Amino acid sequence: MLDAGYWMLLSPSCKSAIRNLKSKISPGRRPLRAGGRNRTMALIVQKYGGTSVADLDRIQKVAERLIRVYSAGNDVVVVLSAMAGETDRLIQLAHQITNDPNRRELDVLVATGEQTTVSLLCIMLESMGCPATSLLGHQAEILTNRAFGRARIVGIHATRIKELLSQRKIVVVAGFQGRDQQGNITTLGRGGSDTSAVAIAAALNADVCEIYTDVDGVYTADPNLCKKAKKIEKICYDEMLEMASLGAKVLQIRAVEFAKKFNVPVHVRSSFQEEEGTMVVKEEVDMERLAVSGVTYTKDEARITLSRVPDKPGIASTIFTAIGEAGIVVDMIIQNTRKGGLTDLTFTVSKSNFPKAMAIQNEVAESIGAEQVIGDEHIAKVSVIGVGMRSHSGVAAKTFAVLAKENINIIMISTSEIKISCIIEEKYTELAVQVLHHAFGLDSP
């Protein structure tokens, strides 16, 4: 039911829009009572990505959705990204000046992207008769450290947001940005708006944080690659973290970390349809039925092998210190001892770091007397993930058997409590994902 008190404030055109929308409100929502103080309502944080606010038409769609949720009596905080492509455009503009733009100033520049979308959405909402106020990162008091371009949120003083909510306003917060202790504008890095939204939801103790995106949820595998993949209704934080780390691009890792830390229920769903998406929540007992919740892959890694390295103490340290000092993150490492005091050392890095890492290793190889450095960019990492592994034995053995049956050679293996990752030849990626998906009972229906 619509809140009668606020209904009166809406303009006629908006009212008719809401009348139409009203009938669509899903029956699963909490029933509401009219009026101010006594209404039983939820506090909902919604985040919309760049494609959802790419132009005024889409911003209007977002406004309509918000008015629907707001008019149902809920308190609503919205977190927005910049229009799709805008952040890249601004970064490119700065790069026309220099290859290495001052980081503080680059953050000032790119922060205009969300400033534009939040003000436009508020102008849209207000023009539809719905009270709304925008807050930039510093106004919402999203406090970060001073790492420009990749800042981390250290705290949120939600007093201003709460004050505006108590005035029954929709609060529209610029995602991706915050301020440091000195009041400098900072940005959180790629995908930072997810993190903004979850952090704000945590600070407000919101009932749910809804992440609106261009896919309709988290799937058991990439649907583009595995036709039988199905949407996961519920997934726990740890699984989602592994999924995000191991290739699923639907949610930013740091956002999931925040959600886990502050126990924020996250609902990943599509901004283009009404259907429920995937709930990311605390681990529950009924989640443990299946051993494996999903299969992911990434083709973003490359492998480097130093062969016939003299096996002396300190060799590994020499090799990885050089890599670390170049700012390159190493993922998997394997060492095979050969006969005659020699060893082979293999590790993976991201493809973007591969040329630099090869150059460094060629130098290192000479200095430590390794026979040769072999690089391979044609690899993929396929992972099976599930908290169920903790109580189901034999998941690793089954994984290896399934791949072996298809004659897929496993080049490297890495495991954790809830995941098994295998490096294989890139050309087998699709096949590996499909057979694992089938073997662990994930195929729909």
**Cis-peptide into 445, omega within 30 deg:** yes
CB of 6 to a copy of itself, least distance (A): 17
Q: Is 18 left (phi over 0), alpha (psi -120 to 50) or beta?
A: alpha
Indicate the burial class of 268 (C-beta count within 10 angstroms; 0-12, 13-18, 19 or more). Answer: buried
Span from 91-99, 288-296, 316-324, 326-334 in contact with a copy of itself (CB under 8 A): 91-99
In whole angstroms, what is the distance from residue 137 CA to residue 184 CA?
Answer: 10
Check residue 15 for interaction with a copy of itself (CB under 8 A). Answer: no
Residue with Cβ nearer a copy of itself (127 or 414): 127
Residue with Cβ nearer a copy of itself (101 or 223): 101
Cβ–Cβ under 8 Å, residues 241 and 302? no
Residue with Cβ nearer a copy of itself (135 or 418): 135
Span from 108-116, 270-278, 351-359, 395-403 in contact with a copy of itself (CB under 8 A): 108-116
- Positions in 175-204 near a copy of itself (CB under 8 A): 183-185
Main-chain phi, psi angles of 44, to 5 degrees:
-115, 130
Cβ–Cβ under 8 Å, residues 441 and 293? no
Check residue 323 for interaction with a copy of itself (CB under 8 A). Answer: no
Check residue 122 for interaction with a copy of itself (CB under 8 A). Answer: yes
When binding is defined by CB under 8 A, the residue of 5, 9, 105, 310 that contacts a copy of itself is: 105
SS (H, E, C) 179-220: ECCCCCEEECCCCHHHHHHHHHHHHHCCCEEEEEECCCCCEC
Check residue 123 for interaction with a copy of itself (CB under 8 A). Answer: yes
Helix (H, G, I), strand (E, B) or coil at 143: strand
The number of residues that bind a copy of itself (CB under 8 A) is 37
Span from 113-121, 323-331, 347-355, 403-411 in contact with a copy of itself (CB under 8 A): 113-121
Check residue 91 for interaction with a copy of itself (CB under 8 A). Answer: no
CA angle 191, 269, 293 (to 5 degrees): 90
Residue among 349, 369, 286, 274 nearest 61 (CA):
274
Residue with Cβ nearer a copy of itself (40 or 96): 96
Q: Which residues of this protein are in contact with a copy of itself, per CB under 8 A?
A: 56, 90, 93-94, 96-98, 100-102, 104-106, 108-109, 111-112, 115-116, 118-120, 122-124, 126-127, 132-134, 136, 138-139, 160, 183-185
